[in-house]
Amino acid sequence: MIIWLNGTFGAGKTTTANALVDLVPDATIFDAEQVGYMLGHVEKLPQVDDFQHWPPWRHLVVETAAQLLGYVGGALIVPQTVLVEQYWAEIRSGLEKYGIPVHHFVLHCDPDTLTERIETDSETNTRFPKARQWRLDHRAAYRDALPWLTREGKVVDTARLSPSQVARLVADTVPAPSP
């Protein structure tokens, strides 16, 4: 199975994924961004502001997830923001074609809490100097995507929960992976 942690940039997906991997038996984190970084080295791809706009990214995320599950089994935890409904539909339907159950969670918090988290995330802001502005710039896209995200995923309000509490809530919601 796949546990997909969606939500805006800075919502706590990666931190929650790291806590969740200890709670879900045989869980492995799959960072789908790495597929985008790999494709970024292909010179003939058109210039885009987000690798998710490349159709090969969406296809390769599905193929990579399916191959990983076939090889390591258990559950894949994917902490990845997807704010374009068509892109999510492509990924979800691709995984469904492989018969892979997808448990989609949207980590959400109110705008003030989100902004505070982004501004005070010194570790990410130091390691990736452009991350702060990227996250701030994408708050509106997340807000615009929220109607379809709430239809497609289980929304978890993280404003008053620690990442370990969010991970526990997610772990308690999904069934144990089949061997």
pLDDT at 98 over 80: yes
Q: How many CB atoms lie within 10 A of CB 10?
A: 26
The first and second tokens of residue 18, run together, are: 């790291």
pTM exceeds 0.85, yes or no: yes
pLDDT at 172: 96
d(CA 45, CA 38): 12
5 vs 177 pLDDT, higher one: 5
Return the amino acid letter for 163.
P
User: Which residues fall within 8 angstroms of residue 40, CB to CB, at 6 or more apart?
Assistant: 51
pLDDT at 121: 80
Residues 93, 94, 95, 96, CA torsion sign: positive
pLDDT at 177: 58
Q: What percent of the chain has pLDDT over 90?
A: 76
- Residue-wise pLDDT tens digits, 119-134: 888 777 678 788 888 8
- Residue-wise pLDDT tens digits, 35-44: 999 999 999 9
User: Which residues fall within 8 angstroms of residue 156, CB to CB, at 6 or more apart?
Assistant: 105, 106, 107, 108, 166, 169, 170
164 vs 136 pLDDT, higher one: 164
* Contact between residue 107 and residue 86 where contact means Cβ atoms under 8 Å apart: no
HEC profile for 128-173?
A: CCCHHHHHHHCHHHHHHHHHHHHHHCEEEECCCCCHHHHHHHHHHH
pLDDT at 125: 66
